Homo-oligomer: A and B are copies of this chain.
Amino acid sequence: MVKFVGIAGSLRPGSYSQRALELTGDRLRALGAEVELLDLREMNLPLCHGGDDYPGYPDVERLRRAFSDADGLVLVTPEYHGSVSGVLKNALDLMSFDQLGGKVAGLISILGGQANSNALNDLRTILRWVHAWVVPEQVAIGQAWQVFDDGGKLTDAKLSQRLDGLAQSLYDNTRKLRGLA
């Protein structure tokens, strides 16, 4: 069985990034995957100091173990200042090739304004750097405040289809690349 782990790089209460993560997790589960979603708002992660050990922060180990165990990754970032949030980058900085290398990732970004691909492009390069794969499909959700309903579903059919496509590609190609197909 193919396993995914997902995180969203926003600590905002009511975060749209977290909602998009949950929608993607639902789709992957519906396809037959095992999915673990971590909520960074409920974890106590330190700022990365470049070393390996973070005594007093058991959530670092929890993060690393979840990523180690996964075949594929779902990463959602709010686009802050035209790039990945520091929150998400810091979580990735706390990990290394050991947890990230060889994994297959699907990427989503959330923007308050018009959609753009800056954060997705940067995240794609970052993941390449740790020798992860990134599926070609990606979703940038612009003007996020108006595309989610109260239940956290996407009201925009086109975006919803793009999320379907991302989940399907991530599921299928993770299985192929990880030899689980």
Known contacts A49-B12, A136-B131: A125-B126 contact under CB 8 Å: no
Given contacts A47-B47, A177-B173, A177-B177, contact A83 B11 (CB under 8 A): no
Considering only CB atoms, which chain B residue lies closest to A172 in the complex? B177
Residues facing B in A70-87 (CB within 8 A) are 78, 80-87
Report whether over half of chain A's contact residues are helix, strand or loop; otherwise say mixed.
mixed
Do the beta carbons of B86 and A92 come within 8 Å of each other?
yes
Instruction: Check: A128 CB closer than 8 A to any chain B CB.
Output: yes
Range of interface residues on chain A? 35 or more
10 closest A-B pairs by beta carbon, nearest first, are A86-B90, A82-B129, A86-B89, A11-B49, A12-B50, A131-B136, A86-B93, A80-B93, A81-B129, A176-B176
Interface residues of A in 33-70 (CB under 8 A from B): 45, 47-51
Q: Is A160 an interface residue (CB 8 A)?
A: no
Interface residues of A (CB under 8 A from B): 10-12, 15, 45, 47-51, 78, 80-93, 114-118, 121-122, 124-126, 128-138, 173, 176-177, 179, 181
The distance in angstroms between the C-alpha atoms of A101 and B90, with both chains bound, is 24
Residues of chain B within 8 A (CB-CB) of A78 are 50
Neighbour of A48 across the interface among B83, B85, B173, CB < 8 A = B85
Q: How far is the CA of A179 from the CA of B176 in the complex (A)?
A: 8
